[in-house]
Chain A
Amino acid sequence: MNIHEYQAKEIFRAHGVPIPPGEVARTPEQAEEIAARYGKAVMVKAQVHAGGRGKAGGVKFCKTPAEAREKAAAILGMQIKGLTVEQVLVTEAADIASEAYVGIIVDRATKKPVFMVSAAGGIDIEEVAATTPEKILYVPVDVRYGLRSYQAMQMGFFLHEDVKRARAAARIMGQLYEAFMASGASLAEINPLVLTPEGELIAVDGKMVIDDNELDRRPEIEALRDDSSEEPSEVEARLANLTFIKLEGNVGCVVNGAGLAMATMDLVKYYGGEPANFLDIGGSSNPEKVVNALRIITSDPSVKAILFNIFGGITRTDDVANGIVTATKQNPLKVPIVIRLTGTNEEIAVKILEDNGFAAMTDMDAAVQKAVQLATTGGAR
């Protein structure tokens, strides 16, 4: 789960990371009021779950409160990568002597949280990694021992020769690590970590991504979720315990299992079609899940055909068949449906479907081809 910059900064601040004062505004007037209260130059920053906010014009420097109002008015309501900006962070602008990058990710290769620090801050770290990898220091952390002082100091000295500054940076590394672990994060980033002309270190931008699997045991983090920054159909699916991602095509796919769901989408493409979505109904499906899945898929007007691909292991195919029958009785389908199922209780499922006027297929390739053809040509069930 992504959280906003201002939320990440609040978590960092709670763990001691020095953050310039800032508050969220939802109107230009609020932005002006906050800027007036600070009595100095501010940054007005769009709060959306998208990278490249600065390039999109969503981050502006403002010398006066009037300018803050004007810039906030321009940013609020702006679209950044398809997302509407509904709030801005108004924060004291920092004077910059130099900028560094500090990030922690869970690294698949070492199977540990790994720090990445670089004196080349304020820019895209992936670009630094690709072009000048020697400018990045990687420090893996064994979570059983935590981040040790020597590791933090190693990073501090990588950024600053002066021992005082190195110590100050090391302290921030420790605080960031605490924030990362306490939040169940998969990524935490300060970019840039700014050195001011007065020699202070402050975190000017903050980013955090939370591991979805942590949310059940961290209700205080789950409460940070911003539904307005998600596709409405994806929110509905999440509440129904389905994994759903909307795409651009016209073949609506309902599949059990993430790998099979991806392979089904790929096969739709292989046979000349375009998938309308990724939808995984999960392992132990019940008829209710299928009803919800069909409701979400049929509410997308671009869907011209629906494809079910179910390989019954834990999933009982008769549950799926019952779900299809129930859902279509409640809301008769306006587009053709192709149902492929095989595995657990297949005979019962086929009988349920046939008794209700549906045809069942057993071959994946044949089913996908048929769905693609129906989506292209239309045609009644």
Chain B
Amino acid sequence: MSVFIDNGTRLIIQGITGRDGSFHARQMMEYGTQVVGGVTPGKGGQRFDDTVPIFNTMAEAVRETGANTSVIYVPPPFAADAMLEAADSGVKLIVCITEGVPVLDMTLVYPFVREKGARLIGPNCPGLITPGQSKVGIIPGRICTPGNVGVVSRSGTLTYEIVYQLTRAGLGQSTCVGIGGDPINGTSFIDVLRAFEADPDTKAVALMGEIGGTDEQEAAEFVKEQMTKPVVGFIAGQTAPPGRRMGHAGAIISGSSGTAAEKIQSFKDAGMGVAQRPIDFVTLLQERM
């Protein structure tokens, strides 16, 4: 078991012939993900690396392959349309890796995807991986190992760092989900926590948050009210100055809200473990499992 993806995931790659799309298509195929097709308008009928069929549209790709998931590597100006097209094609999981999607585009995409009954992860996220089964996105496969820790994070390389430290300490992962660092994203911490709570293979959860917004506080509330499994949290940006956007569009402290101190306090109030440093996840999780 796992959450969102497993060896039944049948994946279409939107933007499979682009620079990032082609590189990561090969990485995912090497990892064992079932890549059943790609979409690049105008290249329909060709094959990617002589194996994967390319289609002009998502509708055609889904009809021909029975895909249930798509991953998006198209440039920011086209990302909103790619997400809408994926939702319209009937796939139930859409993962948007693209960084730099205008937030107003997301105000248009989000309600549409929801009404289609699909789950969107991202944008501006590293995707997800169920070690040993499937990876959708860009999380390096070799730093992960199968196990019982569910990982959910707003960041990319920070997630790799922590997963790498977990793996070195012998703590394998059920699924790692990067929800992305933008102000509006398709899947929240709570959505992933709910899935981990229901997943029999997940015994504990590692949650990596950042400054900005109130997602972490809401997640803490959820942990307190509805979770039986232990959760350990971390907040990046304790030294960030207010009013400055720290790289991620969502990572900005406005007024008194969204500070690291406020988020850490909400974790403590929820009875969660609080990692001061990335390495602290190891002992805090071991104590709780």
Contact = CB atoms under 8 A, between A and B. Distances in A.
Interface of A: 106, 108-109, 111-113, 126, 142-144, 181, 184, 186, 211-214, 216-217, 243, 245, 247, 255-263, 265-270, 275, 278, 280, 283-284, 311, 313-315, 342-344, 364-365
Which size bracket describes the interface of B in this complex?
A: 35 or more
B247 A280 contact: yes
A265 B183 contact: no
Contacts of B154: 259
Contacts of A212: 245, 249
Interface in B116-163: 126, 138-140, 143, 153-161
Contacts of A245: 241, 244, 246
Contacts of B213: 108
B102 A258 contact: no
B239 A311 contact: no
Interface stretch (B44-52, B53-61, B62-70, B275-283): B275-283
B131 to A, nearest CB: 15
B241 A269 contact: no
Contact of A213 (B76, B110, B208, B236): B76
B279 A365 contact: yes
A211 B208 contact: no
Interface string B63-107: 000000000000011000000000000000000000111111011
Interface SS of A by simple majority? mixed
Interface of B: 20, 76-77, 99-104, 106-108, 110-112, 126, 138-140, 143, 153-161, 164, 181, 183-184, 208, 210-211, 213-215, 234, 236-241, 244-251, 255-256, 276-279
A101 to B, nearest CB: 15
A259 B156 contact: yes
A263 B161 contact: yes
Contacts of A108: 183-184, 213-215, 250
A269 B238 contact: yes
23 contacts: A143-B104, A143-B108, A186-B103, A211-B249, A257-B155, A257-B156, A258-B181, A258-B248, A259-B181, A259-B208, A259-B247, A259-B248, A260-B161, A262-B158, A263-B158, A265-B237, A267-B277, A278-B247, A311-B161, A343-B143, A343-B160, A344-B140, A364-B278
Given A263-B278, A314-B138, A257 B211 contact: no
A283 B23 CA distance: 14
B210 A262 contact: yes
Contact of A257 (B157, B183, B214, B277): B157
Contacts of B211: 262
B77 A259 contact: no
Given A283-B99, A311-B164, 4 more contacts: A261-B247, A265-B240, A343-B143, A364-B278
Contacts of B245: 212
A260 B249 contact: no
A258 B279 CA distance: 18
B161 to A, nearest CB: 5
A282 B130 CA distance: 25
Contacts of B251: 258-259, 262
Contacts of A283: 99, 156
Given A259-B158, A260-B155, A313-B157, A109 B241 contact: no
Contact of B106 (A111, A126, A284): A111
A291 B278 CA distance: 28
B248 A106 contact: no
Given A216-B77, A256-B157, A265 B239 contact: yes
Contacts of B110: 111
Given A211-B249, A344-B140, A259 B236 contact: yes
A209 to B, nearest CB: 10
Nearest to B158: A259
Nearest to B156: A257
